[in-house]
Amino acid sequence: MKSNKILLYITPFVFLISVANAAEAVPTEAVLNSVFGVNVHMSNCCNGNYGNTKMVIEELQYIGARKARDWASSDKIINEWLAINKATGITFHVSIPQTSPEKQRKALLRIERWLGEHPKLIDVIEGSNEADTGYPKSQGASLEDATALQYEVYKVGKKYNIPVAQLSVGGGWKPPFYEGNYKNFGKPPADFGNAHVYLNPNGTPYSTLKRLVALGEYSVDGKPVDITEFGIYASSKQDDSVTSAYMHQAPFDAYLMGLPYFFIYALHDDISGVVGFYDDNGKKRAFADYWHHTTRLLSDPNGKTLEPKNIDIKFENQKSTGSGELGIKNLVMYKSDGSTWIVTYDEEKSGAENGFQTIRFEKEHKTIRVYDGRNGVLVKTLNDESHLNIILAPNHVFLVEASDN
């Protein structure tokens, strides 16, 4: 969106006046199918929480996930994926597992066979998964071997016309630059970069994603980066409410950044200490509910083939505590019934004050509705209006619908 903006700095707030009114609106289904993905472990780990496929299907349906990521770790796992796909329509990103070089190559043979036997089940294949970390290294894996294998993975992808994501890294986080091993394995072939993103306490999704995307672009010469893992470690330094808020915002941050795919790690807690949608006992966390309500509000079964279009809309009088990578964000969408939808939120660090903006539409709409993205509750309705004034609590996602139906 091209715009000319006048910034008036009045401590501690930034007021932004936009004088442009053209925005690209994308189908709501395009957003859901791109960035509402989740990692699973159907080979079964995590206190047995993946052992019951029926339960996993119900959990995936509840949170509204559209894609899943897993590892080609055994021959029988394909049966679990097929069951999930049949029940939900979910397709899979498939990675080479963390294991020995020999077993990694067996996994690639598995993937190649499955691509031939089950077309449309797998949407992206990846190279080695964090071969530079402790366990795979103990099995003889290395970045050098993973780089060599990536050429073979790419050949398989091209044979079946399936996009290929770069191998992933997890080690090498050393001073002074703390760039991990993203620049330490050359540039083997891939259609997408691959980044694993984990927030530190007091980190925010957009800024952290931006940094890791830049690192992930290195090995693919600036091609789009696939966020195959995005997670937050459980920490006494960060309240669970903040964690859940960030897990709600992060997919939209990823879409606004133009990233092709985004996967939360993971559906369930595991030994890594990363916070899942469901804890060790199978109890859902708050952001499982947030995803549930948001994906249902944005769902548009008749809109899966829609293309982006331009909509005249202005975002005026914006006030937020943060600026730059923080502050108010808006994602403009539409549905097959002609309604315009906007995801709007003020991404901030803890302790920020409420934000504010005016959304001005190109015409008067019969109904403008505001929904709380966390619980699906209708919080405001306007009739025969062309603009909306909205207060944005920090890190709280709201959905705005403008309709003439």
**Domain parsing of the chain, residue ranges:** 5-27+309-403, 36-276
Q: For the residues of 240-305, what is the DSSP string, one character each?
A: HHHHHHHHHHHHHHHHHTT-S-EEES-SB--TT-BPPSB-TTSPBPHHHHHHHHHHHHH--GGGTT
pLDDT > 90: percent of the chain: 89
pLDDT > 70: percent of the chain: 95
pLDDT of residue 45: 82
Q: For the residues of 343-384, what is the DSSP string, one character each?
A: EEEEE--TTPPPEEEEEEEEEEEEEEEEEETTT--EEEEEEE
pLDDT of residue 65: 99
pLDDT of residue 3: 35
Q: Which CATH superfamily is domain 36-276 in?
A: Glycosidases (3.20.20.80)
Average pLDDT over residues 188-193: 99
pLDDT tens digits, 295-341: 999 999 999 999 999 999 999 999 999 999 999 999 999 999 999 99
Q: Find tokens 């008036």 and name the residue.
A: 8
pLDDT of residue 22: 79
Fold of 5-27+309-403: Immunoglobulin-like (2.60.40)
Residue 376: CB atoms within 10 Å: 15
Res. 11: pLDDT tops 90: no
Average pLDDT over residues 141-169: 99
- C-alpha R_g of the chain: 22
Distance CA 139, CA 136 (A): 5
Question: Cβ(265)–Cβ(229) under 8 Å?
Answer: yes
Indicate the pLDDT class of residue 9, thresholds 50, 70 and 90: very low
Both tokens of 339, joined, read 């309604």
pLDDT of residue 6: 29
pLDDT of residue 238: 87
Res. 15: pLDDT tops 70: no
pLDDT of residue 12: 40
Burial (CB count <10 Å: 0-12, 13-18, 19+), residue 207: middle
Indicate the pLDDT class of residue 8, thresholds 50, 70 and 90: very low
pLDDT tens digits, 174-185: 999 999 999 999
Eight-state DSSP code of residue 166: P
pLDDT tens digits, 25-80: 999 999 999 999 999 999 978 878 899 999 999 999 999 999 999 999 999 999 99
- Residue 403 makes CB contacts below 8 A (sequence gap 6+) with 337, 338, 339, 340, 365, 366, 367, 368, 369
**Mean pLDDT value across the chain:** 94
Average pLDDT over residues 240-261: 98
Average pLDDT over residues 143-158: 99
Indicate the pLDDT class of residue 343, thresholds 50, 70 and 90: very high
Indicate the pLDDT class of residue 405, thresholds 50, 70 and 90: confident
pLDDT of residue 313: 98
Task: Indicate yes or no: pTM above 0.85.
Answer: yes
- Pairing status of strand 225-232 against strand 193-199: parallel
Res. 292: pLDDT tops 50: yes
pLDDT of residue 14: 46
pLDDT of residue 46: 80
- Alpha-carbon distances of 144 from 127, 153, 176, 182, rounded to whole Å: 12, 15, 23, 13
Average pLDDT over residues 16-23: 59
pLDDT of residue 17: 44
Question: Cβ(192)–Cβ(163) under 8 Å?
Answer: yes
Average pLDDT over residues 159-178: 98
Indicate the pLDDT class of residue 373, thresholds 50, 70 and 90: very high
